[in-house]
Amino acid sequence: MYLKKAQNKIFDLFAATSIIAVFSFGFFFSILSFYLGFTEEEGVLNSVGRTFTFLICFFCILVAIRTKLYQLYLTKNSIFLLLLYVYYAGIIYNDLYLVYDSDVVFLDADRNAIMQRIIRLVFIPMLSLIVFRRESLDLVLCAKIIFFILFWSLLASLTILQLNLGDAVEERVGVSGELNSLNMGYWAATEFLLALFLLTKSNKAYKIFYLFLGLPLSLYVIMISGSRGPLLYTVIIALYYLYLSNGSIINKKILKFSIVIFVLILLFDYSFILEIIKGFNPVFVERIEKAINEGDSSGRDGLYMTAIDQFLKKPFFGDYFVLTSGIYKGFYPHNIIIEALMALGLVGAIPLFVLMGKTFYRIHFILKINNDNAWIALFFLISFFKGLSTWNLYGNALLWVSMFIILTYDIKELKND
């Protein structure tokens, strides 16, 4: 009996470690690499962090098999998602050979690195995080540890962002992959949403910390990152979460009144809001004004139109997973919906959109109940919105992983809660 208890404690420890690693180590090790002098995207510490995450996730797969978690929680929807990702990975593998034989200039020409990224950073973590459903696992504690890892990482990132404050609007780039200003803006948005969740799950001392340190730091990083997307999506998701959480964070009457006032300000005079933001980052205000006055989309409209044209040429089974013509040849479309249509065609994209719809349906109930697992829904939402304006579909690990976890919940199970 004692041996079994000890075994379960060890399993919980590994399960919690894998969750924490998947949801925070990528950013943490990139920041650590920068401060220790490893400025390349694939630095030594990044490789160490990814290898550790891979090994711990692989062990969790063995734990899931040993404890029969797959039999208990693997649903038809989650299985279908796994198969769909394998299908997409197969398409990419085939496309990479075609890319090499054509004149398409691909941004990352190392096909082995891409396939390793698919297996190590997405597929294995997705398969392993069925351990998220272990009933003995303290999910709030996992969320707190992730929060504090991201908190100190964001504090450290301020040095990097301060270096970029003088950059031109068109050159809003950072040191390397994980450390560009846009990506740090999205990590700050994730931290903000985690702080909101933890406000409902903590004692008074921790609530003060989240309210007066966690939320302000996240907003500050979003502001000085100069990225419009993270700010917009943070506001949308936060208001949605606050509204669904049944007053556990803020009184609904106060929330509705605040929304009305905010909308009126936006409709009649938003200049003083821009003045406040300007104090953090003048470049950010310039980009917002260009978006409002000139319809500036940072060149994404050209990407979208080229990708849609490519989809229309082969609408049923799809084409390359990168653009094959025009001035953006070799780029991702920077929109996961358009990329799914372009790369998978209607045959692959429609099933993916159905699964996304089912995920959103479950998220509504998860956030409304606001149980200990609610933070995973917030991770999916920010990953989904991030995918609408940047990054790519196959490499959006947190999107696939969080969607897989959410689809292991039966809708009847959520409604009964």
- Encode pLDDT of 301-358 as tens digits: 778 888 888 889 989 988 888 888 777 777 888 889 999 999 999 999 999 999 999 9
pTM of this structure = 0.87
**pLDDT attached to residue 168:** 37
* 91-109: pLDDT as tens digits: 888 877 665 555 554 545 5
Percent of the chain at pLDDT > 90 equals 34
Residues 230 and 218: their CA atoms lie apart, in Å, by 11
**Range with lowest mean pLDDT among 86-95, 109-118, 366-375:** 109-118
State mean pLDDT over 161-189.
61
The two structure tokens encoding residue 12: 């919980």
Distance from C-alpha of 225 to C-alpha of 184, rounded to nearest angstrom? 7
**365/131 Cα distance (integer angstroms):** 21
What is the pLDDT confidence band of residue 271, given thresholds at 50, 70 and 90? low
User: Which one is predicted more confidently, 295 or 67?
Assistant: 67
Predicted confidence (pLDDT) at residue 278 exceeds the cutoff of 60: no
Rg (C-alpha) for the chain, rounded Å, is 21
